[in-house]
Structure 1
Amino acid sequence: MTHSLPKLHNAMWPGLVGKEPGTDHPPISLEKMLEMTGKAHVNGVTYDGVDLFLFHPHTDPDASETAIRNMADLIAAHGLKVGSLVAPVWPGTVGDSAMGDEAARKKFVLAVEKACRIGKILREHGVREYGVIRIDSATGTSTWHDDPKGNTAKIAKTFQEAASVAASYNERLAAEGEICWAGMHSWKDMVDLLEAVDRPKTVGFQADLAHTYLYLLGYNAEEHALLKPGYSDEEFWAAYKIMTDALRPWTIDFHVAQNDGSVHGTGSHDKTGRHCPADDPNGKLDIVKCAGYWLQGAKERGIEHICWDGCMFPNATLENQQTWNTILKTMIDVREAAGWDK
């Protein structure tokens, strides 16, 4: 069945995350990422838009309104819209740890405000009609374990302050669950954090198929593992239901992805779920079926688009046009199986 929603987006940050100048995986420009996305097509269907990482060299978080509007014009020229935005919340960008000292937490909130400002300009331009601001705790798991309850409370307080800023811009924040982020590194800790924040109208969850697969296996949180190696299909789907039932009510942003069961990291990015091509023979996920679990009730939660995340794909893969056609076909399959109309 053909559906008009959700809109199909491609992520731009795979051109940046884990990429380092002077190596065999240098950053790929926004212009190049847009070009590859704009050229992708499957039986006349194209991508509807892109999700952006608001940091150099793609986007200066302090760019002038004129510069942001020029970027919007560039994106629109490819026939694309803008959806969700990744706030530059990490140490070394604009932000700092959400469970750090007062100065660090202020920097985190400032990064969210800068993202909201850019989002507002993009909305006023007309290129952005939906989407959220994506965040995480911007700190690793090792120090979180020193005081789980106290550190979760610190992160929650920071998220609450960021939520007040976001609400003033009519934005929502989606906290990304990854095994590398403190207080967000297991499905149970993620639920606990969202409940502690307690801003359901403004702060929700951003689910990624690759990252949430590792939630099932208990990486960085063995006590919350729902599966053991050698699991059966029956055991997998039973565990998947437990996890998605817990997190789906919070889910306001969604990434389609594949995972081969391993962790991976390049550059300064901590090791997390390995994203694989949609047709990777080692992929562990039935992408379409798994996506359906997360997209139940998505329309009612305000989701209008889904995004493919190819984070830390090799440059040769990213620069191969067929990669994006194959991914687009998978995105279309997800929409046909779990989509909806206005």
Structure 2
Amino acid sequence: MSQNNFPKLHNATWPGIVGKGADSEPVIPFDTLLAMTAAAEVDGVKFDGLDLGLLDPHFKLDDSDETKVLAEKLQKNNLVAGSLVAPIWAGSAMGTADQRATFVDMVRKACEFGKKLRDQGVRPYGVIRIDSAAGVEDWAKDPAGNTKIIAETFREACDVAAGYGEKLATEGEICWGAMHSWKHMVELLEMVDRPNIGFQADMSHTFLYTMGYNAPEHRILPKDADLNDREAVKAALKIVTDALRPWTIDFHVAQNDGSVFGQGSHDKTGRHCQATDPNGVLDIAHDAGYWLRDEKGELTKAFKHICWDGCMFPNDVMNNQQTWNDILAALVKVRNAHGWKA
């Protein structure tokens, strides 16, 4: 058995909220997700921590006691916090002046929340995750102009984050304007041009980059591609990862079946499949290596933890403890293959 202890292994809390609610399934309480994460175990290995979606009703950023209560819960369960999702959707990086100001303010609040957790000794690493909070169709009305506006907003958010010692990671998902293809994402990151911005790769979402959803001009795999052709899939993944790996500062392990899926108010994006899904097109442990190793096969060690994202799993799946044991097992295999001892 591997003795690697890095990267640390995290679960995520936002799948209990995203795609849930009045127009879908009930939100899964934070304490339920915390308990199932803490209970998961594979051959003596347990989760090291949680990445947190700073979203209502799990968290209220204006509550001064929120981080103290959270820190106590984490410590009680021998877990730490890692990356945090800023709730920027009340604004938009591409919107009016007021909307953009709200976007930046939500980044500030997330940074303040993260700093408090660091000060309380329960957040040793991690970034603040953002997206453009703008739809692809709206962006497409003026691609060049809208990308410029988003970059300006991201620069302002980066400057705010730098004051808290935080890095911002842009989510690679096909439903966010200016971020919906691998080439658009690289262009945006280069345009932002700040030392504390990078990319958050998700094995499910970024696989859809290869298929050109919402950006057919940047398709790599042909429209009629056989997704069971591993050599074709690997070649496509290599193109995407070679472009985005140098920017990658946060990483989600996940599975995808080559389809899109939306739930509740969430737009369609790369479908997250269960770790054991027989229809999954990714070899999770192998394909994670495209992100965790450079073009020479050397470990990048660009981040200290990895996280599983099972966003928009049905509640009956998420309330099953075996789901989290299977997920932890998948993460352990990734660490065995691409981790290190420190």
Check whether TM > 0.5: yes
- 1:267 aligns to 2:268 (yes or no): no
What is residue 235 of structure 1 aligned with on the other side? 232
Q: Residue by residue, what CA displacement relative to the aligned partner does 1:157-210 show, whole Å, maximum 9, x if unpaired? A: 0000000000000000000010000000000000000010111x2000000000
Do the aligned partners of 1:265 and 1:271 also contact (CA within 8 Å) in 2?
Answer: yes
Deviation of 1:300 (Å): 5.0
Which residue of 207, 220, 224 maps to 1:226? 220
Two-structure CA RMSD over aligned residues (Å): 1.3
Q: CA deviation at 1:25?
A: 1.5
Residue number in structure 2 paired with 1:4: 5
Match of 2:286 among 284, 289, 292: 289
Is the Cα contact below 8 Å between 1:251 and 1:301 reproduced in 2? Answer: no
What TM-score, normalized by structure 2, do the two folds share? Answer: 0.96
Give the equivalent residue in structure 2 for 1:20. Answer: 21
User: Does the 8 Å CA contact 2:11/2:308 hold for their aligned counterparts?
Assistant: yes
Q: Which residue of the partner structure matches residue 247 of structure 2?
A: 250
Counterpart selection for 2:206 from 197, 212, 217: 212
1:85 aligns with 84
Once the two structures are superposed, residues 107-149 of structure 1 have per-residue CA deviations (whole angstroms, 9 ceiling, x without a partner) of: 1000000000000000000010000000000011001111111
Q: Alpha-carbon deviation of 1:71?
A: 1.2
Partner amino acid, structure 1, of 2:154: F
User: Offset of 1:101 from its aligned partner?
Assistant: 1.4
Any gaps of 5 or more consecutive residues in structure 2?
none
Which secondary structure state, in structure 2, belongs to the residue aligned with residue 142 of structure 1?
A: helix
Secondary structure, counterpart of 2:249 in structure 1: strand
Indicate whether 1:72 and 2:71 are aligned: yes
SS in 1 for 2:243: helix
Establish whether residue 328 from structure 1 lines up as the match of residue 328 from structure 2.
yes
AA of the residue aligned to 1:90: W
Residue of 167, 170, 176 corresponding to 1:175: 170
Residue identity opposite 1:149 in structure 2: A
Distance of 1:287 and 1:198 partners within structure 2: 32
**Residue in structure 1 matched with residue 189 of structure 2 by the alignment:** 194
The one-letter code matched in structure 2 to 1:233 is R
Distance 1:299 1:90, change over 3 A: farther
Shift of 1:296: 1.4
Give 3-state SS (helix, strand or coil) of 2:279's partner.
coil
Q: Is the CA contact 1:8–1:305 (under 8 Å) kept in the aligned structure 2?
A: yes
- Offset at 1:238? 1.5
Q: 1:297-334, CA deviations, whole angstroms, 9 ceiling, x for partnerless residues?
A: 59756400000000000000000000000110100000
1:314 alignment partner in structure 2: 314
Give the letter aligned to residue 271 of structure 1. K
* Structure 1: gaps of 5 or more residues: none
Q: What SS class does the counterpart of residue 143 from structure 1 fall into?
A: helix
